[in-house]
Amino acid sequence: MTTHLIFTWFLVIGFVVIGILARCIVRFNKTTNHYRVVGFEGKEDFFEYDDDDNDDENYK
Amino acid sequence: MRITSDTECAALTHDLLKGKCRFIANYAAALLGCGATCIRIEKNVKRIAETFGVHVDMTLLPSHVIAVVWDMDYTHSYNCQSKPIGGAIDFSRNIALSKLSWQIAEDKLNYVDAAGKFEQILLKPRLNKWLVLTLTSIANASFCRLFGGDFNAVGIVLFATLLGFLVKQVMLEDKIDVRITTVASAFVASVIGASGYLFGISGTPELALGTSVLFLVPGIPYINSGSDLFAGHYLCSMSRFIQAVILTICLSLGLCGGMLLMQMKFF
Amino acid sequence: MEILFEILQDMLFAAMAAIGFASISNTPFSAMKYCALLGAVGHSMRFVMMTYLGVHIIIAAAIAALAIGILAIPFAPKAKCPPETFSYPALLPMIPGMYAYRAVQGLVMCLSSSEESVFDHYFYLMNFNGLTCIIVVAGMVLGVTLPIFVFKHISFSATREIIND
């Protein structure tokens, strides 16, 4: 009974840690795909580049 | 000729009034959004309005601010509504905005310069999130000690708060609703807080479990609602109180979920 | 000597708790030392009153909150911050968490009971703990807010820059 609970405990912590790590990795990957572009007024602009989607809607 | 100058004069007055009104509405909304008490918002806005040479009537609603601005002879008026941006309590912004109102009053700033300074204040970032995580974990662990927990319980609560608060930070960054965040965070913290019972490492396991979720209690909205009650802003007071009660219920739900999963009997 | 050590320990942990809760609300560093001081003073006052003077928690918490509220007023112009910046986080270590838990526990147990006597027992526990918790919090809110309204002039001009000629 207690072993089963200890296993559940480790499972919950494992899920949480892996979930947070996965979220951080996904977010890190998104930010490293930013391009620096000099816009019309000479101001720098950042936009997200999405590998999967080549629609113009991705661009600001 | 006369008509043109009157029209120009009216247009200028209208523009000035519009600019002042928008600034006042945005300023009040920013103060409301960072968790200032209604009486502070009223006094700051009154000070600013006196400097700008306008009369202002303000309605403070839980999620909106409506400002009606009249010129000194009550001939022209402008009204503007503004929604608060950001819902987290921010004392630094509160201090900076209050300081701004005194700067406007004493340096006699016009509304354009004031709006510039106002934008600067809104751009300031919050404290480093890792520092906040560390300080909160230490704080909740101290809390456990204050309730009389032994040092093993304090260690359990430290770890529980670390992970629970990390979950809360990550979920809030993803703009997940704060109520669901609270439930999830309380669940994680209570599961770890139950390790006193599970592994038998603490002499006071019930205190470890009980204090592991206390970092989520929305204390400041309760106190703000009390202050608004004294000032007569009953609507804001009730709204803040209900918001705090809902967060407390979410916290309890998460705690109960964690205890059910760990098959804890109630202490 | 032991009493002094216990009080000092209480002050230290209350100060640490106050700083931590202040950091969640984004209090600037210049105000944090006052949070710590007020938290330490308030909590240790409540501890002394409850443990050594036998005062009821409601009265002890209200008096401690009043002390925090009153002490925050002179510190406010020094730190150039509104007094609620340090008095509200300093109050948070005094929130009675255990009473709230026992109230919720009483609620759940009385709803899941089948006999009247068992229900009555848990209903009593729920009401006793729930009412104590609510009235303690109300007393603390009253204690900390009253000085701000009484000393209105200082409270609402604390962020003013005083230029000495």
The residue extents of the domains of chain C are: 2-96+136-155
Chain A residues within 8 Å of chain B (Cβ atoms): 2, 5-6, 8-9, 12-13, 16-17, 20, 23-24
Q: Which residue of C has its CA nearest to B161?
A: C20
CA distance C162 to A2: 65
A47-50, long-range: CB within 8 Å, 24+ apart, which pairs?
Answer: none
Q: Are strands B77-82 and A35-38 parallel, antiparallel or unpaired?
A: unpaired
- How far away is chain B from the Cα of C18, in angstroms, using its nearest Cα? 7
The 10s digit of each residue's pLDDT in C82-91 is 999 989 999 9
The 10s digit of each residue's pLDDT in B58-84 is 999 888 999 999 988 898 889 999 998
Angle in degrees, 0-180, between the axes of helices C57-79 and C29-51, rounded to the nearest 10: 160
Q: Are strands B65-71 and A44-47 parallel, antiparallel or unpaired?
A: unpaired
CA distance B204 to C150: 43
| pLDDT band with cut points at 50, 70 and 90 for residue C96 | confident
Residue A46 has pLDDT above 60, yes or no: no
Q: What is the mean pLDDT of residues A30-57?
A: 56
DSSP letters for B137-202: HHHHHHHHHHTT--HHHHHHHHHHHHHHHHHHHHHHHTT--HHHHHHHHHHHHHHHHTHHHHH---
- Residue B146 to residue C101, Cβ atoms within 8 A: no
Range of weakest confidence among A33-42, B87-96, C132-141 = A33-42
SS3 B60: strand
Chain B residues within 8 Å of chain A (Cβ atoms): 163, 166-167, 170, 174, 188, 191-192, 194-195, 198-199, 261-263
CA distance B4 to B6: 5
Q: Which residue of A has its CA nearest to B159?
A: A13
Residue C14 has pLDDT above 90, yes or no: yes
Q: Would you state the structure tokens that stand for residue B156, as one six-digit string? A: 């359990």
Taking the CA atoms of chain C, what radius of gyration do you get in angstroms?
19
Closest to A19 measured CA to CA, from B168, B167, B251: B167
Q: What is the mean pLDDT of residues B136-162?
A: 93
Q: What residues of A are in contact with residue B262 (Cβ under 8 Å)?
A: 5, 8-9
The pLDDT value given to residue A43: 53
Provide, rounded to the nearest whole percent, the portion of chain B with pLDDT above 70.
97
- How far away is chain A from the Cα of B195, in angstroms, using its nearest Cα? 8
The pLDDT value given to residue B201: 87
Distances (CA, A) of B213 to A20, B92, B108, B225, C66: 19, 26, 48, 22, 27
The pLDDT value given to residue B160: 95
DSSP letters for A6-49: HHHHHHHHHHHHHHHHHHHHHHHHHHTTPEEEE-TTS-EEEE--
ipTM attached to this prediction = 0.90
Q: What is the mean pLDDT of residues C68-77?
A: 93
The answer to whether residues B182 and B245 touch, using CB atoms and an 8 Å cutoff, is no
| pLDDT band with cut points at 50, 70 and 90 for residue A52 | low
Q: What is the mean pLDDT of residues A26-41?
A: 64
The pLDDT value given to residue A2: 80
SS3 B217: coil
The answer to whether residues C69 and C87 touch, using CB atoms and an 8 Å cutoff, is yes
Q: What is the mean pLDDT of residues A9-33?
A: 87
Shortest CB distance from B146 goes to which of C93, C140, C160? C93
Distances (CA, A) of B243 to A9, A17, B116, B237: 31, 30, 33, 10
In degrees and rounded to multiples of 5, residue A35 shows phi and psi of -105, 145
Could you state, in order of their start, the residue ranges of all structural domains in chain A? 2-58
| pLDDT band with cut points at 50, 70 and 90 for residue C44 | very high
- How far away is chain B from the Cα of C15, in angstroms, using its nearest Cα? 9
Q: Would you state the structure tokens that stand for residue A2, as one six-digit string? A: 């207690």
Q: Mean pLDDT of all residues in chain B?
A: 90
SS3 C97: helix
Shortest CB distance from B198 goes to which of A6, A17, A24? A6
The pLDDT value given to residue B238: 95
Q: What is the mean pLDDT of residues C15-26?
A: 93
Q: What residues of A are in contact with residue B257 (Cβ under 8 Å)?
A: none
Residue C23 has pLDDT above 80, yes or no: yes
Mutation pick from B161, B165, B167 vs chain A, by most beta carbons of A within 10 Å, is: B167
The pLDDT value given to residue C107: 85
- Residue B132 to residue C145, Cβ atoms within 8 A: no
Q: Which residue of A has its CA nearest to B193?
A: A9
Q: Would you state the structure tokens that stand for residue B27, as one six-digit string? A: 């300023």
Mutation pick from A3, A5, A11, A25 vs chain B, by most beta carbons of B within 10 Å, is: A5
The answer to whether residues C85 and B94 touch, using CB atoms and an 8 Å cutoff, is yes
Q: What residues of B are in contact with residue A16 (Cβ under 8 Å)?
A: 163, 167, 188
- How far away is chain B from the Cα of A24, in angstroms, using its nearest Cα? 9
Residue A39 has pLDDT above 80, yes or no: no
CA-based torsion, A39, A43, A44, A49: positive or negative: negative
CA distance B186 to B164: 7
Shortest CB distance from A12 goes to which of B174, B188, B199? B188
Angle in degrees, 0-180, between the axes of helices C57-79 and C116-150, rounded to the nearest 10: 30
The pLDDT value given to residue B1: 47
Residue type, A59: Y
Q: What is the mean pLDDT of residues B197-204?
A: 87
Q: Which residues contact B229 (CB under 8 A, 6 or more apart)?
A: B237
- Residue B262 to residue A6, Cβ atoms within 8 A: no
Touching status, chains A and B (3+ beta-carbon pairs under 8 Å): yes
The pLDDT value given to residue B244: 92
